[in-house]
Structure 1
Amino acid sequence: MRPRIGWGPVRLLAPMLSEGKPTLPELFAMARDFGVDTIELHHAMIPAYDRRTLDEIAGLLQRYGLRLSMLTCAPDFTHPDPDERERQLDEMKTKVVAAWVLGAKGVRVTVGCAHEEVSREQGINWAVEMLLRLAEFAHPRGVKLGLENHYKDRLWELPDFAFDPDVFLEVAEKLKGTPVGINFDCANPLMVNRDPIPILRAVADRVWHVHVSDRKAGEYAHRVLGDGDVPLGAIFAELSKLGFSGVISLEDGQAYAGDEGTKRSLAFMREQISRYWGH
């Protein structure tokens, strides 16, 4: 089976929060115009988490012929305050239920922020504990968790505790054999000059959702696919070899080329999928 192409419109998160534009109906119309039937939403794009609002959004998705691949969340499970970690867990349970109402396969999860006073051992242990507790809630409800090799959520002030791929891989190893799966990010390893392929191979059996973006090595700014240094062809080839058939979501963070850049990136993805999975 060929993977499904999704669109994660992260370049539009800031104007949605500051100006209320685009609205969700406008965003969904854009997705339809781009020719995708799968979209990914950052948790802050959901205006409220009451059932009435969620039902309205589910109706909008249906009206525009879209499915939600993932609700992109960013829990801080490495916070030094245990009460805050519990609050983060409760908030994530609400978002798991929201993902279920919206028909998403799962939620993106993170280890947490790199708080200066938290040691590597503490942070890993806390994150593993909280992710397992969240999985105990999500798994019976049919909602997957996708732990990301993450850099920094757009609403965070600090980078991810597991920005170092070795920390991410240690957390992933401790979660092996549990319901916690992986959302693999193709571009984040380049920010620390690491090859993404060995990281992908280490967690390949648990990857159910993929973020694809491009950037120059050592830089944060997203680029149109093909304009950066991410070895996208090699990554698509590896995913094909692994038999991946989930959602490959364009993490559309580039701002310099706007909608035309999105169209170019989606065209790049379609060409790669045709090349490595066949027509």
Structure 2
Amino acid sequence: MKPVIGWSPVRLLTPMLETGRPSLTTVLAKAKEFGVTAVELHHAMLPRYDRRALDELAATLNKYGLKLSMLTCAPDFTHPDAKERERQLDEMKTKVVAAWVLGAEGVRVTVGCAHPEVSREQGIAWAVEMLTRLAEFAAPRGVKLGLENHYKDRLWQLPDFAFEPEVFLEVVDRLKGLPVGINFDCANPVMVGYDPIAILRAVADRVWHVHVSDRKVGDYAHQVLGEGDVPLEAIFRELAGRQFHGVLSLEDGQGQGDEGTRRSLAYLNALVRQHWQTH
């Protein structure tokens, strides 16, 4: 079984928040135009979270024949203020319910921001506690959590507390046995000089969703797939060898507009045909 190809239109997030354009309906129409069957939306792209608005969005997704693969969220579970951590958890519960209403497979979650006053041990302990509580809320609703090997959310001022692989993998290890899966990001490790293959192999049995993106070493900016330094061929060989058949979501932050999206999707489709034809 081949994986599903999806689109995460992160290049449109800033204009959507600053100008209201394009509208979410326009974005979904564009996804259909690009020929994908799954779309991933950043939580800030949803204008409202009341049931009426969510039902309308679900109807629009259905109109365009789209499945919401994941609602991309970025909780800060390492915040030094306990009340803020609780507020973040409450917000995430709202987003889990939204994902359920929208028929999404799950939500992307993060460890939290690298607040300078928070020690490694304390931050890991807080993150594990909050992710455990969130998983206990999400699992009965059939909503998966996808913890990402993350660097920095577009709405954050600080990098992720767990952007270093050893911290991320310690959090993952402490969540062993809990219903917390992985959203594997292909490009984040490369950007900060780490080996994505080593990270993937350490978490492969828990990966259910993948961010497919390309970057150059040391550069936060996304590239068109195949034009950066990410070893996508090797990553896809690893995924195919492990019979991955979840969602490969193009994290589309490149600066060349719709043409760049089309080129990235063509590259992604070619990789899938190449690596899954014998699996």
Whole-angstrom distance in 2 between the partners of 1:56 and 1:243: 35
Give how far 1:253 is off. 0.6
Whole-angstrom distance in 2 between the partners of 1:216 and 1:153: 18
1:179-190 alignment runs, 5 A limit: 179-190=179-190
Please name the residue that 2:269 is paired with: 270
Whole-angstrom distance in 2 between the partners of 1:229 and 1:144: 30
- Any idea what SS the aligned residue of 2:215 has? coil
Give how far 1:276 is off. 0.6
Q: Specify the code of the residue in structure 2 equivalent to 1:204.
A: A
Give how far 1:34 is off. 0.5
Please name the residue that 1:236 is paired with: 236
1:200-252 Cα distance to aligned partner (Å, 9 max, x none): 00000000000010011121110000000000000010000011000000000
- Any idea what SS the aligned residue of 1:13 has? helix
Please name the residue that 2:84 is paired with: 84
Q: Which moved more, 1:87-96 or 1:190-199?
A: 190-199
- Any idea what SS the aligned residue of 2:161 has? coil
Give how far 1:192 is off. 2.0
Q: Specify the code of the residue in structure 1 equivalent to 2:233.
A: G
Whole-angstrom distance in 2 between the partners of 1:154 and 1:219: 14
Across the aligned residues of Structure 1 and Structure 2, the Cα RMSD in angstroms comes to 0.7
1:1-279 alignment runs, 5 A limit: 1-255=1-255, 257-278=256-277
Give how far 1:104 is off. 0.2
Whole-angstrom distance in 2 between the partners of 1:174 and 1:186: 23
Whole-angstrom distance in 1 between the partners of 2:168 and 2:242: 21
Give how far 1:191 is off. 1.9
**Structure 1 runs, 4 residues or longer, greater than 4 Å off:** none
Whole-angstrom distance in 2 between the partners of 1:29 and 1:93: 28
Give how far 1:195 is off. 1.0
Gaps of 5+ in 2: none
Whole-angstrom distance in 2 between the partners of 1:77 and 1:186: 23
Q: Specify the code of the residue in structure 2 equivalent to 1:264.
A: R
Q: Specify the code of the residue in structure 2 equivalent to 1:275.
A: Q
Whole-angstrom distance in 2 between the partners of 1:164 and 1:219: 16
1:135-194 Cα distance to aligned partner (Å, 9 max, x none): 000001000000000011011111100011111011011111110000000000012211
Gaps of 5+ in 1: none
Give how far 1:24 is off. 1.1
- Any idea what SS the aligned residue of 1:243 has? coil
Aligned length: 278
Whole-angstrom distance in 1 between the partners of 2:193 and 2:88: 31
Whole-angstrom distance in 1 between the partners of 2:152 and 2:54: 26
- Among the aligned pairs, what percent are the same residue? 74
